[in-house]
Chains A and B, each alone.
Chain A
Amino acid sequence: MLKSLSDEEVMLKLQAGDMECYDELVRRFKDRLYAFILRMVRNGQTAEDLLQETFMRLYVHRMSYRTIAKFSTWIYTIAANLVRSHMRKQNRMPLQDLETDRDDDKPRELRDPKRDVDLEVAGKMTVEAVRAAMEKLPEEFREVILLREMQELSYEEIVEVLGVPLGTVKSRVNRARGRLRQLLADYVGD
């Protein structure tokens, strides 16, 4: 019966005191949030701790949720804030990388298809290769790629989650894609 309800409806029932709804929300979101957190912090134990903390906050702050926001955006915001806070503590936010990459905003030059380079890269592309390239991305680039391409959030949802303007999100996503492809080409070419 709960399965047929939207996330927002389940959350409203949780606010009304139905604890089964808490379990339902955990079931719906645990794996995708875990994937996001794990790819950000790159440590299984830390990812599990942060995921637990995310769901603890869902419970503790359940009454502060308002239906004007999508539930998924709300829970991703909690998770992303916890990840950022963790990263700050780890002192691993190399912001200078982001400021020196303005060229990534430009459309990428295409390679010569006669050399079959693109096909070569596409053929050698594996989940492991992409993961390795992702790990080399600066954290703020990795964050937007994960939200946009893996979690399939819209730009507007990412704006809500990260609390930055739409133009910044689009630009950051664009630069992150360019950098990812470059890293991947280097990785596959090695």
Chain B
Amino acid sequence: MNDRDFFVSHLWDWLAEGEDFPDHSRMQQLLEGSGELRAEWEEVSALRRCLQEDRPMVPAGFEESLKERLARAMEEPQGEDAPAQVIRPEKGFWGRGSALLLTGAAAALLFVFAGRPGMQPAEVADDAGLRPEAPAESAPATGVLATRSYASFQDTLSADSLREASRPDDLQSVSTLREGRD
């Protein structure tokens, strides 16, 4: 095997093992003595670097769902050496699909009623029975939702503001503003 073939066939392992590579000195000498081999070294180095930089991380919440699954498995009456039981997480296609459908339907209802001229969103929420047990002004006193005033939410979604936002000349006024700034 000539020097070039030697260099090419050991280049990846040399890059992986560095000074621990048995022929480190010879590889170093070959690299320094040839532009051709240096170009080869640069390409393989860049390739390895890209491979190592591509490190996706586990999505958030992984450990929590693993713990839940482990807790369920530990409750199962099985011996330690029994084969691992496959417990499907409750986030299968149908579970996710139905949750998505329900959320979508609720959002669509809210959008349709809130967008109707002359109709107040608060009345819609009550009439539609989405929150029959929780009147609009009696939100729980704790939690993140408690920090938001339902009345201000009503103001944000008032029919007037929706109508104003849909006026066709709104876009024009934005561009006029930009021109004015320029």
Contact = CB atoms under 8 A, between A and B. Distances in A.
A184 interface: yes
A134 to B, nearest CB: 8
B57 A34 contact: yes
A17 to B, nearest CB: 11
Nearest to A149: B51
Interface residues of B, number: 44
Nearest to A62: B80
B93 to A, nearest CB: 9
Contacts of A39: 54, 56
Interface in B70-86: 70, 73, 80-86
The main secondary structure of chain B at its interface with chain A is helix
B112 interface: no
Contacts of B12: 149, 173, 177
Given A122-B42, A150-B51, A52 B89 contact: yes
Given A56-B70, A181-B43, A34 B50 contact: no
Interface string A27-56: 100111011001100001000110111011
A122 B62 contact: no
Given A44-B59, A110-B8, A121-B43, A53 B89 contact: no
A53 to B, nearest CB: 7
Contacts of B59: 44, 48
Contacts of B177: none
Interface in B83-127: 83-86, 89
The main secondary structure of chain A at its interface with chain B is helix
A121 to B, nearest CB: 6
Given A48-B62, A152-B16, A113 B35 contact: yes
B41 to A, nearest CB: 9
Given A31-B57, A119-B39, A125 B47 contact: yes
Contact of A125 (B39, B46, B52): B46
B65 interface: yes
B179 interface: no
Contact of B58 (A51, A56, A180): A51
22 contacts: A23-B63, A27-B63, A31-B55, A34-B57, A35-B54, A39-B54, A52-B65, A53-B84, A55-B66, A56-B84, A62-B80, A63-B81, A107-B1, A107-B4, A113-B35, A118-B42, A130-B51, A149-B12, A149-B48, A152-B16, A180-B47, A181-B43
Given A56-B69, A59-B73, 7 more contacts: A57-B84, A107-B5, A118-B42, A122-B42, A122-B45, A150-B52, A181-B43
Pairs of residues from A and B, 4 with the lowest C-beta to C-beta distance, nearest first: A118-B39, A130-B50, A122-B46, A107-B5
